[in-house]
Chains A and B, each alone.
Chain A
Amino acid sequence: MADGPVISLERLDKSFRVSQREPGLWPAIRALFRREHVEVDAVRELSFEIQRGERVGFLGPNGAGKTTTLKLLAGLLYPSRGQARVLGFDPADRRPEFLRRIALVMGQKRQLSWDLPSLDTFELNRVVFDVPRELYERRLAEMTELLDLGAVVRKPVRTLSLGERMKCELVAALLHAPEVLFLDEPTIGMDVTMQLAIREFIREYHRRHGATLVLTSHYMEDVAALCERILVIDEGRLCFDGSIAELVRRIRPLRRVAVRVDARLDPGTESELEQLGQLALAGPPRLALDVAPQRVPAAVARLLALPGARDLEVHDAPLEEVMRELFARRVSVREAEGA
């Protein structure tokens, strides 16, 4: 078991049957007798491997198939075609030995009993997942401490804030110390501090247990901070597999060179700069030029030569912009991939 990938997918397909009809009275009555169905492919020919201890993030627009993929990996859905292996098991068999070694945390669905303190659900999971009491006590103490939960676990769940609830959900999911942790939008709807705390906790869990992490999130910071490897999924297909830096360079090959200035540019300088690259910000206070990598030295020299220029920065385009572009121009991404 030590060798080989922890997760491998081979040409996995999943399609759903969805009924549909036109709006209005007549179509409604017609639907009484004949309902029209459409096959919707949620995941198409998906293949990839994930090694033990990797931290992988799924990116893609809404409805791209990220969550479906996670659910296929956790064994909640049966694939229509193709094969998935997780920890050497076929997830869809949902064998107890398999389920005891994984966990799926969903930001939009809760497992804690609404009217009871979280501790009661923890106790249920202790029994269900066969966690020895001693180990349970130790893990619980450790996680409550890390998440700064204190008395929160003794309050009825309905009285908790969204962030506190998510923290308790994480504890409930991790009490059996899963080797593979799937996270579906774990920080959705939370404020920045809470996102940070949860991210930190997940990172710490990975460090201590060497677990494999697979994450989807709408928040780029989550993915950027937690994942060393990115899989971009769009319309059910894999269209990128690599690091964040690679992704950024592929989508936005331009680098951004910026300085702080005090005065407006005169039209002559402006057109001169535009020959070097694209003027993204035309300060004051900041002047930013997006240029091709080989032009960076020339752009740096030219910008620093401006009167009063200081605080030089050179960086890749901001991640959020990259994502916006990625999802706005989904077609061209696939073209870039040469698919």
Chain B
Amino acid sequence: MSAGMERRAVSRHLRLLGAQMRLSMLAALEYRVGFWTEGVVGLAWSLGGVVPLFVAFEHRSDVAGWGPWELVLLTGFFLIISGVYASAVQPAVSKSMTQIRTGTLDYVLLRPVDALASCLTAQFEPWSLLEALTGIGLVIVAAVELELSPSLGQLGALLVVLVSGLVSLVALGVLMLCASFRALELQNLTSLMETLLGFAHWPISVFRGPLKLVFTFVVPFAVMTSYPAQSLIGGLGWPELVGAVGTTLALAIGARVIWGRALRGYTSASS
């Protein structure tokens, strides 16, 4: 493929993203009650998940080496991840699963664009971004309270782990979608994922043994919330950085390969 064609393909996919976002926005505006059911409730849910952290501070001066404001910083990153999950990943995956069930995925596959790109932009919940915005606010407040003045290197590391965290979140979404090709009942995996995401509230240093490995390498919550906070506080070393990028690449490549195989087995539900 020539560079020109490649550039055209990229711009076409970007325009696809824009057009699908526009469509989702319009649909979201049709039901303004979504602001309350998706946005406010989602935020309340996530903030409710902080209660156990409060309880821990009732009885301890730190949680596994993390002080109160450091955990506020981590909570900020949690809200960003959770907001992106609720606004972009979960809706797109659920919508695509519905399309698999009803067979309207046919129309997605008939488009002259990458089918996975089409699925991942299938639906978008703008209201849930409220959560991500609150998260950004918390990160700023905590950074001010902790009197952080991150170096350029630290900001670079933050960027790397944040992107890694988001990419692995999307890759997990793709894997759930692939699973639902095999058996429709596996659609419940999104709720399992939501439950698990609750544990990204906690710093990775709290977990022990196999659970620590799982949350670092398989469902890498460490990469999503602990590492970004650590990158600002200081204490994120090269091993963690390399591990984060490696885990993310493995997840992303695995997801792409499995997606290709899942598509070959698509049976296109009739009616």
Q: Which residues of A contact B26 (CB under 8 A)?
A: 116, 120
What are 30 A-B pairs with beta-carbon distances under 8 A? Answer: A71-B106, A75-B109, A76-B106, A76-B110, A77-B266, A94-B109, A96-B113, A99-B111, A102-B110, A104-B106, A106-B106, A108-B270, A109-B102, A109-B104, A109-B106, A115-B27, A115-B30, A116-B30, A120-B22, A120-B23, A120-B26, A123-B22, A124-B19, A127-B15, A128-B12, A128-B19, A128-B111, A128-B112, A129-B112, A156-B30
Considering only residues 65-81 of chain A, those with a C-beta below 8 Å from chain B are: 67, 71, 74-78
Q: How many residues on B have C-beta within 8 angstroms of the other chain's C-beta atoms? A: 31
Considering only residues 79-96 of chain B, those with a C-beta below 8 Å from chain A are: none
A77 in contact with B23 (CB, 8 Å): no
Q: Which residues of B contact A106 (CB under 8 A)?
A: 106
Give a binary string over B28-60; 1 marks a CB under 8 Å from any A CB, 0 the rest. Answer: 001100000000000000000000000000000
Give A272 to B137 CA distance when docked, in angstroms. 98
B113 in contact with A109 (CB, 8 Å): no
Give A171 to B14 CA distance when docked, in angstroms. 24
Give A218 to B267 CA distance when docked, in angstroms. 22
B23 in contact with A113 (CB, 8 Å): yes
- Among residues of A, the one whose C-beta sits closest to the C-beta of B20 is A124
- Among residues of B, the one whose C-beta sits closest to the C-beta of A74 is B110
CB < 8 Å: which of A16, A100, A113 contacts B27? A113
Give a binary string over B243-271; 1 marks a CB under 8 Å from any A CB, 0 the rest. Answer: 00000000000000000000010111011
Give A121 to B20 CA distance when docked, in angstroms. 9
Q: Which of A75, A100, A108 has the most CB of B within 10 A?
A: A108
- Among residues of A, the one whose C-beta sits closest to the C-beta of B109 is A76
Given A71-B268, A99-B110, A99-B112, CB of A109 within 8 Å of CB of B30: no
**Interface residues of chain B: helix, strand, loop or mixed (majority):** helix
Given A77-B267, A113-B23, A156-B30, CB of A96 within 8 Å of CB of B106: no
Q: Which residues of A contact B267 (CB under 8 A)?
A: 16, 77
B271 in contact with A108 (CB, 8 Å): yes
Give A161 to B106 CA distance when docked, in angstroms. 23
A230 within 8 A of B: no
A97 within 8 A of B: yes
B238 within 8 A of A: no
Contacts A96-B113, A128-B113 given; 9 further ones with Cβ under 8 A? A71-B106, A78-B266, A96-B9, A102-B110, A104-B106, A109-B103, A109-B107, A109-B271, A124-B23
B218 within 8 A of A: no
Interface, chain B (partner A; CB < 8 A)? 9, 12, 15-16, 18-20, 22-23, 26-27, 30-31, 102-104, 106-107, 109-113, 115, 118, 264, 266-268, 270-271
User: Nearest Cβ distance between residue A214 and chain B, in whole angstroms?
Assistant: 14
Q: How many residues on A have C-beta within 8 angstroms of the other chain's C-beta atoms? A: 34
A137 within 8 A of B: no
Give a binary string over A182-199; 1 marks a CB under 8 Å from any B CB, 0 the rest. Answer: 000000000000000000
Given A99-B112, A124-B19, A129-B112, CB of A115 within 8 Å of CB of B31: yes
User: Nearest Cβ distance between residue B61 and chain A, in whole angstroms?
Assistant: 51
User: Nearest Cβ distance between residue B179 and chain A, in whole angstroms?
Assistant: 17
A121 in contact with B23 (CB, 8 Å): yes
- Among residues of B, the one whose C-beta sits closest to the C-beta of A112 is B107
**Interface residues of chain A: helix, strand, loop or mixed (majority):** mixed
Give A111 to B266 CA distance when docked, in angstroms. 18
B264 in contact with A78 (CB, 8 Å): yes
A130 within 8 A of B: yes
Interface, chain A (partner B; CB < 8 A)? 16, 67, 71, 74-78, 94, 96-100, 102-104, 106, 108-111, 113, 115-116, 120-121, 123-124, 127-130, 156
Q: Which residues of A contact B268 (CB under 8 A)?
A: 71, 76-77
Q: Which residues of B contact A100 (CB under 8 A)?
A: 112
A127 in contact with B18 (CB, 8 Å): yes
Q: Which residues of A contact B31 (CB under 8 A)?
A: 115
Give A124 to B267 CA distance when docked, in angstroms. 26
User: Nearest Cβ distance between residue A199 and chain B, in whole angstroms?
Assistant: 22
User: Nearest Cβ distance between residue A91 and chain B, in whole angstroms?
Assistant: 10
B111 in contact with A129 (CB, 8 Å): yes
Minimum-distance CB pairs A-B, first 8: A96-B112, A111-B107, A99-B112, A127-B19, A108-B271, A100-B112, A124-B19, A115-B30
Q: Which residues of B contact A77 (CB under 8 A)?
A: 266-268
Give A116 to B110 CA distance when docked, in angstroms. 21
Given A104-B110, A130-B112, CB of A116 within 8 Å of CB of B19: no
Give A156 to B16 CA distance when docked, in angstroms. 22
Give A97 to B113 CA distance when docked, in angstroms. 10
Give A102 to B106 CA distance when docked, in angstroms. 13
User: Nearest Cβ distance between residue A35 and chain B, in whole angstroms?
Assistant: 11
CB < 8 Å: which of A102, A109, A116 contacts B23? A116
Give A283 to B115 CA distance when docked, in angstroms. 62
Give A176 to B268 CA distance when docked, in angstroms. 23
Given A109-B102, A110-B104, A115-B27, CB of A127 within 8 Å of CB of B109: no
